[in-house]
Structure 1
């Protein structure tokens, strides 16, 4: 064998080894690429799932916040309506007929006389003449005098002559008591 044949044989052997290395490298590159694609797909799926969770959480938070705003607005509207009902009730009681007012004031004064024998009666300006007439007619109320008018929708406030005791039988006080005890019932009726 000549030198040229040995060189050709070495070249052929080198070429075969180069091709084998290239094939092996191609196979490794393809495997690395496949692994990278699988990993990329996993990362993409994980990112999509996380984005879905974040979107769902954000949506839930926004819906909850919107529901809270709506609920607050409804409660504010209900409170406004209840305040209007309260004011209308108080005005309606104060606007009852004169006969009713006289009877109610008489009953309230008799009730107060059981606790305060002598005192000063305060009423709104409209009821001063009525209370003066009631006191002059009723013997049990002879220890009472009419004091300065007060800003109440109706009823009486009686103060003992020594100023140590005061009884508030104003319509506003009675309505407050009824309102507090019946507010839930009124709310249920109005907003059920």
Structure 2
């Protein structure tokens, strides 16, 4: 075997070793790349799931907060409307015809006379002349005198002469009683 044959054999052996090393390196590189791609895909999926969870959580929080704001605004609007209904009711009762006012004041004074025999009767400025006329006509009310006008929509406030006892038969008092006992019914009627 000649030198050239030995050199060719060494070259061939070197070339085979280089190809084997290259193939082995390529296989290792491919395995490393596949592993990296799998880990990257796993990280991407995990990050996407975490982002989706965070987004869902934020959306739920914002939705809850918005619902609370809307509910508060609705309740405030309902309260405003109920306050308007209350004021309108009080004004309507106070502005009923004079014949109604006279009958109502007479009945209220008779009720008060059962508790306070002698006292001072207060009414609004508009009703004072009517109260004076009722007291002068009714014998059972002879212990009453007419006092200063008060700021009420209607009705009377009777105070004993010694100031120890006071009965509030103003329309506001009666409306408050009805309002408190029937507010839920009124609310249901107005807002359903």
1:3 is displaced (CA, Å) by 6.3
1:20 is displaced (CA, Å) by 2.1
Give the distance between the partners of 1:113 and 1:17, measured in 2 at CA: 126
| Secondary structure of residue in 1 paired with 2:78 | helix
1:190 is displaced (CA, Å) by 0.7
Where does 1:12-161 land on structure 2 (aligned, <5 Å)?
Answer: 12-161=12-161
| Secondary structure of residue in 2 paired with 1:167 | strand
1:59 is displaced (CA, Å) by 2.1
Higher mean C-alpha deviation, range 55-64 or range 159-168? 55-64
Higher mean C-alpha deviation, range 68-77 or range 134-143? 68-77
Give the distance between the partners of 1:179 and 1:88, measured in 2 at CA: 13
Give the distance between the partners of 2:188 and 2:132, measured in 1 at CA: 42
Higher mean C-alpha deviation, range 123-132 or range 5-14? 5-14
Any idea what the Cα deviations from partners look like across 1:101-129, whole Å, max 9, x if unmatched? Answer: 11111111111111111111110011111
Q: Figure out how many residues of one structure are paired with residues of the other and give that number.
A: 192
Give the distance between the partners of 2:28 and 2:81, measured in 1 at CA: 78
**Unmatched tracts of structure 2, length 5 or more:** none
| Secondary structure of residue in 1 paired with 2:37 | helix
Give the distance between the partners of 2:65 and 2:59, measured in 1 at CA: 10
1:88 is displaced (CA, Å) by 0.7
CA RMSD of aligned residues (A): 1.7
Give the distance between the partners of 1:120 and 1:29, measured in 2 at CA: 108
Give the distance between the partners of 2:159 and 2:17, measured in 1 at CA: 120
